[in-house]
């Protein structure tokens, strides 16, 4: 590993690159090899047997992880009237309509997720070129264009994760922080994998989940056995 620092090389010795670990063991190992001095993220990369060039093989969705992701999510809501009040009651950080659109057009982007009621999309549509590339554009397919504003905001605040397969056929998603207990990371992982499995396109052929790798923000990747049980084995 000539291009890796001493800290990376030191912790990388704890990982057998030829081994595919059970999911719970992988989460525990991810904590051990995380050497960041801050509470870094633990992420997962899921390699799928799909061709994202075909619309009917696009895998995209959202899931509320049982233990959240350990991050305070700033939620913006495009709404008016009763729905604006509903958003505020749910804990939205910013609520408005054309005023927020103008603010975003001026370069302001101090939020992590956006929700909109359907009637607001006529105002939000023109800023899609700003929000879209940053993954901030409200979308009905993942539940962020909705009349159920309260639930959408509450789910985002609770640790709702949106994911989408990239051009290489890989889904990237956070599982939590390195300070999380391994069991909590494992339970978040199980929820995510079960959701991705349910979203398998009918046209996908062959092995669907081909490979899974877990890694801390600063630390080596750990291969996960995709065929291993998604249940915690009882202690002997």
DSSP track, 129-158: HHHGGGT-S--GGGT-B-S-HHHHHHHHHH
Handedness of CA 111, 114, 117, 123 (dihedral sign): positive
Q: Which residues have a Cβ under 8 Å from the Cβ of 34 and sit 6 or more positions away? A: 11, 40, 42, 178, 216, 217, 218, 219
Among 142, 101, 149, smallest CA distance to 125 is for 101
Q: Which residues have a Cβ under 8 Å from the Cβ of 172 and sit 6 or more positions away? A: 43, 44, 45, 46, 163, 166
CATH 3.40.50.300 for domain 15-68+160-224: no
**pLDDT for position 1:** 44
| Integer Cα distance of 52 and 163 in angstroms | 13
Each residue's pLDDT tens digit, 30-65: 999 998 889 989 999 999 999 999 999 999 998 999
Q: Are 220 and 15 in contact (CB under 8 A)?
A: yes
- Please report, for the chain, the start and end positions of each structural domain, with discontinuous segments joined by +: 15-68+160-224, 75-157
pLDDT tens over the chain, length 236 residues: 456 778 888 788 888 889 999 999 999 999 999 988 899 899 999 999 999 999 999 999 989 999 999 988 999 999 999 999 999 999 999 999 999 999 999 999 999 999 999 999 999 999 999 999 998 999 998 899 999 999 999 999 988 888 999 999 999 999 999 999 999 999 999 999 999 999 999 998 899 999 999 999 998 999 999 988 777 654 43
> What is the helix (H) or strand (E) element at residue 11, kind and residue range?
helix 6-12
Each residue's pLDDT tens digit, 160-188: 888 999 999 999 999 999 999 999 999 99
**pLDDT for position 236:** 37
**pLDDT for position 114:** 96
Supply the pTM of this predicted model: 0.80
The matching CATH number, chosen from 3.40.630.30, 3.40.50.790, 3.40.50.300, 2.40.50.140, for 75-157 is 3.40.50.790
């Amino acid at each position: 590993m000539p291009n890796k620092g001493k800290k990376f090389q030191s912790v990388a010795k704890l990982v057998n690159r030829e081994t595919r670990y059970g999911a719970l063991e992988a989460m525990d190992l991810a904590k051990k090899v995380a050497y960041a001095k801050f509470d870094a993220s633990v992420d997962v990369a899921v390699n799928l047997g799909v061709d994202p060039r075909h619309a009917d093989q696009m895998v995209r969705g959202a899931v509320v992880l049982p233990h959240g992701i350990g991050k305070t999510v700033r939620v913006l809501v495009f709404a008016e009237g009763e729905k604006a009040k509903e958003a505020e009651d749910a804990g939205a950080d910013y609520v408005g309509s054309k005023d927020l659109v103008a603010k975003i057009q001026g370069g302001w982007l101090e939020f992590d997720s956006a929700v909109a009621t359907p009637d607001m999309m006529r105002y939000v549509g023109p800023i899609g070129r700003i929000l879209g590339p940053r993954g901030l554009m409200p979308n009905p397919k993942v539940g962020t264009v909705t009349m159920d504003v309260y639930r959408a905001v509450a789910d985002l605040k609770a640790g709702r994760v949106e994911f989408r397969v990239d051009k290489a056929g890989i889904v990237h998603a956070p599982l939590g922080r390195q300070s999380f207990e391994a069991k909590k990371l494992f339970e978040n992982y199980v929820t995510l994998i079960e959701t991705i499995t349910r979203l398998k396109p009918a046209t996908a052929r062959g092995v669907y989940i081909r490979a899974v790798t877990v890694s801390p923000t600063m630390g080596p990747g750990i291969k996960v056995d995709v065929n291993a049980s998604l249940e915690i084995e009882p202690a002997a």
